[in-house]
Structure 1
Amino acid sequence: MTEFRSPDQEVGQLRQRVVVAGVFMFLCLCVLAGRFFYLQVMRFDYYHTRAEDNRIAVVPVPPNRGTIVDRKGEVLARNFAAYTLEINPSRVEDVDATIDALGQIVQIDDYDRRRFRKFRETSKYFESVPIRTRLTDVEVARFVARRYRFPGVDVRARLFREYPHGDLFGHVIGYMGRINTRDEARIEEAGETANYRGTDHIGKRGLEQSYESLLHGHTGSEQVEVDVGGRAVRVLDRRTALPGHSLILTVDVDLQRVATQAFAGRRGALVAMNPKTGGVLALVSSPSFDPNLFVDGISVADWRALNDSPDHPLLNRAIYSAYPPGSTFKPFMGLAGLELGKRTPEQSIVDPGYFVFGGHRFLDDKPGGHGVVDMHKSIVESCNTYYYMLANDLGIEAIADFMAPFGFGQPTGIDIPGEASGVLPSPAWKKARFRKPGQQRWYGGETISVGIGQGYNAYTPIQLATALSTLVNNGVMFRPHLVQYIVDPVTGARTQVAPDPVRRLPLKAENLAVIRAAMVDVTRTGTGARAFAGAPYAVGGKTGTAQVYSLRGSRYKEGDVAERLRDHSWFIAYAPAEDPKIAMAVLVENGGFGSRSAAPIARQVLDYYLLGKRPEGPPPGAEDAGPGPAGGD
């Protein structure tokens, strides 16, 4: 039997349901209203900022890097703009497929792909990575017409570094390279992270590295309104980037070219500087390298050619490689003898062609000896026996103490990185250098070899040039430097890099005069006379021949020795002799006699610097020149 409900009951139940539903809806509306209030009132600033961030992108604007010019204003490093095709991996689903598709529009070879993978490994996930650089206008037009097919791919205008003189200044200028993790750590440590936003490259080696903070400039920014595809619609605000400072150097392009060509491809180094200021006029390390190879990321083939070459073109021989100075050490030894009272200019010895110490015979360079030898003749004819005896009389401690203030065995402080210390031997040095007690002991025979610039002696060409500059500048030493002026990019004001006198050596004028007079006669009647025959200016110099390996008492025969085991050729020079404006050290690796290989290079450099005379060809090499009239070095 069916039970019937009264209408009043049903109406009551309906009302209850309506009330419950109404309360529920009211509560939901309250929650929704509360949420709206929280989001739109309490959290307004936060979400407004996020919305603006989605609409507005802050794009860093890298600064224009400062230029580098020589003393006459000729450009050595500059910037040029070029289009780069870049991929943002975070916005591309299939990078490889995208690259293949792009290859149908612009040329992308295997080198571009390898470089892209390398850069991608070192880049942050959200950063764009170049797949092609230096696009032509035609290639840019082709891509732009099809850009809608490639989300996450775009063309950007970037600045690239250019070195117009190629390998002529490779070791001086250095090069630009992509920022790596070590660079990032240095940038972060210096508190410059924000200033390098949007910057992919940084100075590597040379002046590009040592003056990075000045050359780089200050990064600007743009507030850009973007669409849903991330493409710029309009620029809302701009903070202009400040370009980097420019550098005016002390070096001369033409002098550098003359010096480089004089080496004719031979291995070696040359440093020429103004002894009165320390300004470097030419700095050559031969062979060199072309820094332009590194601008876009060096190819594997080019890197192997440089890195695997037996001539080591990446090695800066001028400041890093240390060699025995040979007889170029003798003027400093002679000055030590005079200053320390162990010799007078008139005091002489009789040279039989050898010196006996501890039962060992130290041979002179001239069989039969040089006869009666005083201070002057010992330098002019480069008499080894004289300096064997002088070293024995001075003792190693006195030699080391006297030579240290000239900068031997310590970095000069030149304003490019990578300088070596060299070795100024002493008992203290030897004790620190070796571990075994037997090796730590200093032997008297070692002092004898030090006296002629052999033994443990090892100095860089920049150290010899600095020491010579100090000697001819009456004991005043200046720190060698390559930058003469720093130019403000906004005002154009020049700030001079003031000459920095390191120290003043208390040397007696009469003793300096004795040494300098002998060095002048080296180029007139001594071991350097052949190279400077007919020179219309007075020049002081000293030849040097440094052994590569021990002769163990036997005489050196160049023809019997492999080329890379032959003696190194040295020459130090200054001119004009009466008022020196240039001092230099020249080294030719395995070049034999200093008079034969290094001195002719110095002659060509001095002829150009003092007379403006350009050489007609390379200087005479080992095959067509011999030692000077006096023999020896």
Structure 2
Amino acid sequence: MCYILEKPNKKKSHFPFRLNILFFSVFLLFSILILRLGFVQIVYGENFKRDLERKEDITVSNPVPRGKMFDRDFKVVVDNIPKSAITFTNEGFTQKEMLGTAKKLAQLIDKNTDKVTLREKKDFWIMKHPKLADKKITQEEKALLANKKMTDKELYKLKVDRVTDAELQTLTANDLEVMAIYREFISGYKFTPQIVKNENVTDKEFAVVSENLQSLPGVETTTDWDRAYAFKDTLRSVLGKVTKSDEGLPAEQLDYFLARGYSRNDRVGKSQLEMQYEDVLHGYKSKVKNITDKTGSVIETQPVTDGKKGNDLVLTIDMELQMAVDKIIEDELWAAKRSPGTVLTDRAYVVLMDPHTGEVLAMSGKKIVKDPDTGIVEMMDDALGTFTTTYNVGSAVKGATILTGFKTGAISPGTVFDDTGLKIKDTPIKKSYAYLGRVNEIDALKKSSNVYMFHTAIRIGQGHYEYEKPLNFSNPKAFETIRNSFSSFGLGTRTGIDLPNEQTGFKGQSKLPGYLLDLVIGQYDTYSTMQLAQYVATIANGGNRMQPHVVKQIRHSAEDGEELGPVAQEMTPTVLNTIDVKKLWMTRVQTGFKKVMQEPGGTATKFFSDVKYSPAGKTGTAEAFYDGPLRSQFGKEPPPVMNLSLVSYAPSTNPEVAMAVIVPWAYQGKVDNRANLKIGRKVLDTYFQLRNK
């Protein structure tokens, strides 16, 4: 029997087939992806690249309040008053969109139209009546434009010129209001907030605009600020001014500020302290980044930095003392005007300074002015004049003359001259106000001998005096020697005060010997009140010329709930130079100054002999020529007038205050109203009364 064995059936595997399908599918998908990527890169790559490049990151800076100013006792002098404001930021809107927003906003607020110009009215009429404006252009003119023989700008100018007054009369009050708002919209740069209204914004206006912001693209309600002055007009000319919101950056300093990251409509200090310390007071603006798409629309806003308001200034000025000095000057000026020969008298200046630190405690100037329109006469602040105007000051400079004589060897302590007047050929006799006998340098200061100073100057010039003979000098550098010495005290040079526009004074040009004699008695070159204060402070402290300054500290802005922030910078006393004199020489001059005010026969004794604070100083009277606002009434020859001055410090030992007073054009004729001494006495009395209080 035969068996046939059958082979079992082997099960067929489908795994390789499925794997192949998987590989093929992956291959196919990758092929499609690569083809798609290639298609995107080749066909649309340039377009996407251009779109990406057209996206912009634009940083917008938002202004912050300026720093405050305090006096030396931390009383607020200059502050910020918040006020409601409505702003507009052009985020890439079209002209049509901005005009539409302006129309909506005009329904919600009252906008002053006084600043809308004739040209702007014509532009608005053209925008409102485009078809009528087009009809003003002839076919010939349109052909010139088509043939590129006329530009769009030239064609538009023709439209503007052809808008008639009658057509402008059709603009309604609402149209002008829309125009006034629209002009604010377009007055700035893209993404730069513009003030639309910040004056007299009512609570109702602020609220209704805030409620409708969603329908007013680009419009925001915010808080603006104005400078506020706690002491009104006191020291205003020195505190300075800030540009208004519609002024922006000063044109003459535009490049300077733009290079430092300012926006064109930023408010900045434009004079004196506000300008001098702009970098300190301005602060750091908050910044946000606006990311725009290719159409210029903002698609995202990202904060960059938080704003920080400006740092504060603490001044060296004592505002209570400042106001008291202002009042004294006002009262004495009006009183002087009641004396004869005071038609030209219209101003006076006082500076009080710490002789050891240069801190200016008060700087006061007052000027009588007449309004040309109303004829009203009033007193105005002119503290600025303490360092921007200069005058002949007379004998007040004689302390510098004596010390110059010591330094050059022209005289020595105890040198005596006879006070007999000098008669130089072809020159009126040069003398003191009276014959004072034989005097040394101390009595020459006490009694104010001109002749003593003349002999000192002759010796410095290496000259020889003989009655009715010409006066010649063998030292050709006599003028230079004396002026260089005077400048070491601060006379005829910049004091270095931390304020702009300081004036150095006028230097006489002639080098004739007779003018050298005038120079040493303060009747040739001119000096400012600040220079006199620095000069007498140098004598008071024993020879250090201190740099005067009106800023004592810079402080970080205070946090919420705090009155003052921490000190950022302390202004330390600066010695500009030290007078190269022996201690004995300085003591002799200080003794002479003390006798001027305390010993019988001194030129100021009648006003100061009864005080307890032991003053020292020097009076001055100079015959000068009037150079004030009434000069045009006198033709080519202005009349001679007398300037009065006074320099002083007190106490005479260990002094704590130095003072300078100038009363220009104090009187004409022979009646001396002594305004310098009256002002000086009251000012020093007030200083010590306030100090003791």
TM-score of the superposition, structure 2-length normalised? Answer: 0.67
In the alignment, which residue of structure 2 is the partner of 1:610? 688
In the alignment, which residue of structure 2 is the partner of 1:336? 404
In the alignment, which residue of structure 1 is the partner of 2:349? 269
- How many Å separate the matches in 1 of 2:495 and 2:541? 16
Measured at CA, do residues 511 and 612 of structure 1 come closer, stay the same or move farther in structure 2, by a change above 3 Å?
A: same
The number of aligned residues is 535
- How many Å separate the matches in 1 of 2:103 and 2:639? 50
**What CA deviation, in whole Å up to 9, does each residue of 1:526-556 have, x standing for no partner?**
2222332421110011111222329xxxxxx
Give the letter for the 1:610 counterpart.
F
Secondary structure in 2 aligned to 1:606? Answer: helix
In the alignment, which residue of structure 1 is the partner of 2:675? 597
- Aligned counterpart in structure 2 of residue 495 of structure 1, from 553, 565, 569: 569
Secondary structure in 2 aligned to 1:470? Answer: helix
Give the letter for the 2:607 counterpart.
A
**What CA deviation, in whole Å up to 9, does each residue of 1:174-217 have, x standing for no partner?**
121131222221124xx412xx2486111122221111112222
- How many Å separate the matches in 2 of 1:580 and 1:122? 58
- Aligned counterpart in structure 2 of residue 356 of structure 1, from 423, 437, 456: 423
**What CA deviation, in whole Å up to 9, does each residue of 1:404-449 have, x standing for no partner?**
3222222111111111122455xxxx3xxxxxxxxxx621111121
In the alignment, which residue of structure 1 is the partner of 2:365? 285
Structure 2, unmatched stretches of 5+, are: 1-37, 118-179, 334-345, 462-477, 559-564, 627-636
In the alignment, which residue of structure 1 is the partner of 2:18? none
Measured at CA, do residues 122 and 327 of structure 1 come closer, stay the same or move farther in structure 2, by a change above 3 Å?
A: farther
- Per-residue deviation, 1:316: 2.1
Secondary structure in 2 aligned to 1:157? Answer: strand
Give yes or no for the alignment of 1:573 onto 2:648.
Answer: yes
- Per-residue deviation, 1:315: 8.0
Give the letter for the 2:47 counterpart.
L
- How many Å separate the matches in 2 of 1:356 and 1:121? 76
TM-score of the superposition, structure 1-length normalised? Answer: 0.73
Does structure 2 retain, via aligned residues, the 8 Å contact 1:86–1:128? yes
- Per-residue deviation, 1:454: 0.6
Moved more, 169-178 or 79-88: 79-88
- How many Å separate the matches in 2 of 1:122 and 1:284? 41
Give the letter for the 2:498 counterpart.
D
- Aligned counterpart in structure 1 of residue 53 of structure 2, from 39, 42, 46: 46
Moved more, 90-99 or 213-222: 90-99
- How many Å separate the matches in 2 of 1:101 and 1:187? 35
Measured at CA, do residues 313 and 252 of structure 1 come closer, stay the same or move farther in structure 2, by a change above 3 Å?
A: closer
Give the letter for the 2:614 counterpart.
A
Does structure 2 retain, via aligned residues, the 8 Å contact 1:523–1:540? yes
In the alignment, which residue of structure 1 is the partner of 2:175? none
Give yes or no for the alignment of 1:520 onto 2:594.
Answer: yes
Identity of aligned residues (%): 24
Secondary structure in 1 aligned to 2:607? Answer: coil
Give yes or no for the alignment of 1:133 onto 2:207.
Answer: no
- How many Å separate the matches in 2 of 1:230 and 1:376? 81
Secondary structure in 2 aligned to 1:503? Answer: strand
- Aligned counterpart in structure 1 of residue 278 of structure 2, from 212, 218, 240: 212
In the alignment, which residue of structure 2 is the partner of 1:401? 484
- How many Å separate the matches in 1 of 2:206 and 2:367? 39
Measured at CA, do residues 62 and 98 of structure 1 come closer, stay the same or move farther in structure 2, by a change above 3 Å?
A: closer
- Structure of greater Rg: 2
Measured at CA, do residues 145 and 64 of structure 1 come closer, stay the same or move farther in structure 2, by a change above 3 Å?
A: closer
Secondary structure in 1 aligned to 2:572? Answer: coil
Secondary structure in 2 aligned to 1:587? Answer: strand
Moved more, 381-390 or 69-78: 381-390
- How many Å separate the matches in 2 of 1:372 and 1:595? 29
- Per-residue deviation, 1:461: 1.3
Give yes or no for the alignment of 1:462 onto 2:533.
Answer: no
CA RMSD of aligned residues (A): 4.3
Does structure 2 retain, via aligned residues, the 8 Å contact 1:548–1:566? yes
- How many Å separate the matches in 2 of 1:583 and 1:613? 14
Give the letter for the 1:454 counterpart.
Q
**What CA deviation, in whole Å up to 9, does each residue of 1:78-124 have, x standing for no partner?**
22321223466986669999989977754544666689999999855
Structure 1, unmatched stretches of 5+, are: 1-29, 290-301, 431-440, 551-561, 616-633
Alignment of 1:170-181 (within 5 A): 170-177=236-243, 178-181=248-251
Alignment of 1:194-209 (within 5 A): 196-197=262-263, 200-209=266-275
Does structure 2 retain, via aligned residues, the 8 Å contact 1:538–1:576? yes
- Per-residue deviation, 1:596: 1.2
Give the letter for the 2:519 counterpart.
V
- How many Å separate the matches in 2 of 1:579 and 1:271? 19
Give the letter for the 1:357 counterpart.
I
Measured at CA, do residues 563 and 212 of structure 1 come closer, stay the same or move farther in structure 2, by a change above 3 Å?
A: same
- Aligned counterpart in structure 1 of residue 438 of structure 2, from 372, 386, 396: 372
In the alignment, which residue of structure 2 is the partner of 1:543? 619
In the alignment, which residue of structure 2 is the partner of 1:316? 384
- How many Å separate the matches in 2 of 1:116 and 1:311? 40
